Structure 1
Amino acid sequence: EVAKDYPEVELSHMYVDNAAMQLIRDPKQFDVILTGNIFGDILSDAASMLSGSIGLLPSASTGKGVGLFEPIHGSAPDIAGQGIANPLATISSASMMLRYALGENEAADKIDEAIKKALAEGYRTGDIGDYDAKEICTCTEIGDIIADYASK
């Protein structure tokens, strides 16, 4: 229904199993994937491996009124208190909330740039430590680095 109002946007309907395969085969073909909650959860978990870790992907569930901004990975109670969680998806979810729910683009930009800078300088958590790591950080350490960069 909505697609009729946006003829310049290509619309494709897919079964979820095909969407999962296409996502792995050629992720650049997708700009947006709209699905119900259970299929969205499955596809976002699969897509996280394209980035290297489930700890890197923020998400948003939006609609009329209130939006929910959260990392795709959940709370990871199995690693709670160990300092090994990757906080980047949570921090990025906060950036998305600032940008899309609160209209605070400048603050969101500062957070996004701080994340990019920390990664460009080689700071990593253990889950992405195989990717050109200069230093493996705990959850708190990388969060502090990003907070420091964002405050400047």
Structure 2
Amino acid sequence: MTAETRIVLSSDHAAIPLRRAVADHIAAQGWEVVDIGPTTLESTHYPERGAEAARRVAAGDCRLGILLCGTGQGIMMAANKIDGVRCGVCGDPFSARMIRQHNDANMLAIGARVTGEGLALEIVDAFLSAAFEGGRHATRVAMIAELEG
């Protein structure tokens, strides 16, 4: 497999079961899953988990990334500190589709304490099935990139 079919997954301790469900779900669709953990329920720091995954996306090792923590918010904030990463937290499929189509998001964050497994998998599917539309949106994505450090 190549980086085009590779997705990095990470979470904090609160989201391990949902992360594993997402990993199994997307692997069954043919994606190569790079699950960087954690593997135990010991407390872990979501900023470290989000940044580590984001660095893999920014470096081109993985095409996309999916992050999970209690709300999805903290891990998303950490990921967005990495240049080249555009991560959005989504609680519904429409938003997940739009962040890909309009914002060229390369990472998705989901809150494991606020999103059930069935809905989370629908969100993941919407994110993965959408493609960047370019056009007027490309100008705006370029404007976001200009804000990077």
Flag the structure with higher helix content. Answer: 1
Flag the structure with higher strand content. Answer: 2
Structure number with larger C-alpha Rg: 1
Alignment TM class, shorter chain as reference = 0.3 to 0.5
TM-score between both structures, scaled by the size of structure 1: 0.37
TM-score between both structures, scaled by the size of structure 2: 0.37
